[in-house]
A = this chain, B = another copy of it.
């Protein structure tokens, strides 16, 4: 029987340990030694926190193809570094201007803005160094496919593009379709990349990749819906970050257009759609199933 809670805890622990080792002056390869402050800021922005859901998705998608959890870890770390860099940059005064993240000062508060910008840049860059390392996968063709997937998921046509759309949306009117496109990019693209990277590690054929992409897109929508609902219903203490921000900013989400109950119903439908995409896989996909259900039920 698949144990979601054990899998999530085990994954988070592994990510924490390996991130802690990799983010050191000695391990950050390059022609010179990384500055201490930079490494500290990179660690502050990525250690001790987060549920590590993206590495978990990489691991769970890879598990469908019998890839052991260990063999999916480096690719998962790379996605997690991209996720952490995006939080550091999003928190900057010029962006969301957040002082608190996971209950601790954000990187620009604990250090300063310049250091936060550079720590984000370095984490993003290091993610690709990790994927290029033979420890990620022995086959260069697989590693380069992972690079491509992560770059496209996190770049202008993915996560960063979604963040830009989000900022533009705050300034002008946003239709329901615009919100969906923005969210599919801002949050969805990296979740999609995580699942697809797991599939790539497992040597998935085009058909399996398409099915898993459909799952990932639905799961990403569910994740964002849950986030928008929590922004309205949860307290800052539970979330470890400011809540009620969307309304305060007059920001439109699917909760503002559908209401909380409508959004909850839509969330359930979306999870059902994610689960039905996994039909062909049988019990090997129980990990991905559990994560989609978790997205709908999470309380922080």
Contact = CB atoms under 8 A, between A and B. Distances in A.
**Most chain B CB neighbours (cut-off 10 Å) among A28, A42, A129, A189:** A129
Interface in A78-128: 85, 89, 92, 94-95, 112-115, 117-118, 120-122, 124-126, 128
A32 B125 contact: no
A161 B133 CA distance: 20
Interface stretch (A1-9, A149-157, A239-247, A259-267): A149-157
A184 interface: yes
A258 to B, nearest CB: 21
A100 to B, nearest CB: 19
A192 interface: yes
A162 interface: yes
A165 interface: yes
A141 interface: yes
A297 interface: no
A299 interface: no
Given A30-B185, A31-B192, A151-B125, A164 B118 contact: yes
Shortest 7 CB-CB distances between A and B: which pairs? A30-B157, A94-B113, A132-B148, A125-B155, A129-B151, A30-B158, A34-B156
5 contacts: A35-B161, A35-B164, A38-B156, A118-B163, A128-B150
